[in-house]
Amino acid sequence: MPTTTELTEQYIKQHPSIKDSLIKGIVNYSKLSRRIAKELDIEKKTSMEAILIACRRYEQKIQKQKPLENKIIKIFKQSELEIKTKIVVVIIEKGKYSKKLTQVEEKIRNSADLFYAIEGTKAMTLVISEKNLSELKKIFKKHIKKITKNWAMIIIKSPEEIETTPGSMAYLYSLFADRGINIGHTMSCWTDTMLLIKEQDVAKAMEFLSF
């Protein structure tokens, strides 16, 4: 059976906003202890003091993460941003048409246009410019399962350190989540990170991606 310390740490890890407040030292430990005890239904199994002590010890443990966060911010400050609009995401069912897909990709890339393909277990996701959608429809016809428009791609070109710095992506995603911006799709290639968000959210995203 998990100890009070283990239950407390697990609860905090599952609530990023509380963890962030602990790192910044702006938490009322008594209120937090009561909340943890109530939500985990362990009020009768342990004391508030035990939970409070566990919170304080965990706060001391995660203070070591501050330098790591500073390193992450430094990486993104050195990153370059590129925005592409009028992006379409097309979901097609998997099938024996790899030759057709290769031909489409070659044609689009030869015109110096955008093309990404991600293969899943049951379908493939194609990320293309809106101007290539009509041709894609003609080729795959009934194989298309879903089409969504009005996406924007944010390309973040980072230093090589991003590959070996834990928490970089978690930090980046938290910036979007905290502001209510949904990341519909994520792709990456070494030091490049490609995020798809709705076009209407681009202006808001640029406010916090300026670092």
pLDDT value of position 182: 98
Q: From the CB of residue 196, how many other CB atoms can be counted at a distance below 10 Å?
A: 21
pLDDT value of position 46: 83
pLDDT value of position 26: 92
What is the C-alpha radius of gyration for the chain, rounded to an integer number of angstroms? Answer: 23
Q: Both tokens of residue 26? A: 């702006």
Please report the sign of the dihedral spanned by the C-alpha atoms of residue 146, residue 152, residue 153, residue 156: negative
* Cα(111)–Cα(102) distance, integer angstroms: 14
pLDDT value of position 64: 74
pLDDT value of position 81: 97
CA dihedral 23, 10, 38, 27 (to 10 degrees): 0
Cα distances (angstroms) measured from residue 211 to each of 16, 79, 150: 21, 9, 26
pLDDT value of position 188: 95
pLDDT value of position 145: 95
* Cα(178)–Cα(184) distance, integer angstroms: 15
Range in 56-65, 111-120, 192-201 with the lowest mean pLDDT: 56-65
pLDDT value of position 147: 98
* Cα(109)–Cα(29) distance, integer angstroms: 56
pLDDT value of position 44: 80
* DSSP one-letter code for 191: T
Range in 17-26, 29-38, 102-111, 155-164 with the lowest mean pLDDT: 17-26
pLDDT value of position 78: 97
pLDDT value of position 210: 87
